Amino acid sequence: MIIIDNVDFSYDKKNYIFKGLKAVFDPYKISVILGPNGVGKTTLLKLIAGVLSPIRGEIRIFGKRPVELRGKIGYIPQLNGLYPWMRVKENIELPLRIRSEDPSKISEIVNKVAEKLSIEELLNKYPKQLSGGEIQKVQLARALISGSDLFLLDEPLSMIDIDYREEIIDLLKKIVSTNKSTIIMVTHNIEDVLELGDKVYIMRNKPAEMIEIQKELVNRDNLQKLYRGLNV
């Protein structure tokens, strides 16, 4: 369980993105946060990942603080987070090298994950040679290889071709069901919510607040009405 408990956060200590924010995310599910641009969705992911720290309040991930789980949280930013000077294989194996994995085992581990995600043919390419969908699959491979149980995804479907969309959706569902992983993703696209959300939240207002939408109310008409009424 991921718990956001009375979190305050501001980049300048004047304009608060969050003031007393509370939320609970269930394990082994895909939780989708719907909200407009600029409301604080990416900031929340960075707080959970430990990239940023709250001014007040705390975040607990299965009972631990984000700082205690560094390297074990798969944070995948909206923009390409791959190192352009490294081939795909080198990008994927980076977490293994950081934690000093036995060099003789690295290729085997990478090849298994690449096969699982059907990206074997990409391993010797550079990021600039990849499509948006291929970049997302490589970033997921790097997160998987790090041993992450928690994946934080920032608009994971926003920069991919329509041909890759269903493939990425199926892949995310499979990661949760087969790996017993937890996914928290943010989006401004209602279709993402409908296709992926086991649990659905609306983020709105400034400072931002979060409201969980009951499963029986998660349909296109209701979400469109709620989204149109969001106050940034």
Strands 2-10, 16-25: pairing kind: antiparallel
Number of separate domains in the chain: 1
**Would 147 be classed as within a structural domain?**
no
**Would 14 be classed as within a structural domain?**
yes
**Would 67 be classed as within a structural domain?**
yes
**Would 61 be classed as within a structural domain?**
yes
Q: 176 with 183: CB under 8 angstroms?
A: yes
**Would 33 be classed as within a structural domain?**
yes
Q: What is the pLDDT of residue 229?
A: 61
Q: What is the pLDDT of residue 206?
A: 87
Q: What is the pLDDT of residue 29?
A: 92
Provide the CATH number for the domain around residue 51.
Answer: 3.40.50.300
Q: Which domain holds residue 54?
A: 1-72+186-232
**Would 11 be classed as within a structural domain?**
yes
Strands 209-213, 199-204: pairing kind: antiparallel
Q: 183 with 175: CB under 8 angstroms?
A: yes
Which residues face 32 on adjacent strands? 185, 200
Q: 24 with 2: CB under 8 angstroms?
A: yes
Widest pairwise Cα distance in the chain:
56
**Would 8 be classed as within a structural domain?**
yes
Q: Phi first, then psi: give them for residue 124, nearest 5 degrees.
A: -100, 5
Per-residue pLDDT of the chain (232 residues; tens, 9 = 90+): 899 999 999 998 889 999 999 999 999 999 999 988 888 999 999 999 999 999 999 999 998 888 888 777 888 887 777 899 999 999 998 888 877 777 778 888 888 888 888 889 999 999 999 887 788 888 888 888 877 789 999 988 877 777 778 888 888 888 888 878 899 999 988 888 888 888 999 998 889 989 888 777 777 777 777 766 654 4
